[in-house]
Amino acid sequence: MRTTLPLLLASTLTACGDDTPATDAGFDQVAANKDLLHRYHEDVWDQGHLDHAGMYLGPGFFSHAVVTTLPAGQTAGADFLAQFRIGFPDMHSHEDALLGDGDLVAIQWTITGTHTGTFFGVAPTGKAITVSGMDVLRVADNLFAEHWGGIADQMDDFFAQIDALPK
Q: For residue 125, give the 3-state DSSP assignment.
A: coil
CB-based contact 162:115 (threshold 8 Å): yes
pLDDT tens track for 97-106: 999 999 999 9
Q: State the Cα–Cα distance between residues 120 and 150, nearest whole angstrom.
A: 18
**How far are the Cα atoms of 34, 42, 69, 106, 123 from residue 7, in angstroms, in the given order?**
36, 43, 66, 43, 71
- Is residue 139 assigned to a domain? yes
**Domain containing 46: what range?**
28-161
Q: How many domains does the chain have?
A: 1
- Is residue 102 assigned to a domain? yes
- Is residue 125 assigned to a domain? yes
- Is residue 70 assigned to a domain? yes
CA atoms in the 13 A half-sphere facing the CB of 21: 3
CB-based contact 53:84 (threshold 8 Å): no
Which of these ranges, 54-58, 68-72, 156-160, has the smallest mean pLDDT? 68-72
- Is residue 3 assigned to a domain? no
Whole-prediction pTM: 0.78
pLDDT tens track for 115-128: 999 999 999 999 99
Q: State the Cα–Cα distance between residues 101 and 16, nearest whole angstrom.
A: 30
pLDDT tens track for 4-31: 333 333 333 334 444 434 456 567 999 9
- Is residue 80 assigned to a domain? yes
DSSP alpha helix (H) spans, 45-154: 80-87
- Is residue 107 assigned to a domain? yes
Provide the 10 A C-beta neighbour count for residue 128. 13
- Is residue 17 assigned to a domain? no
Domain harbouring 59, CATH code: 3.10.450.50
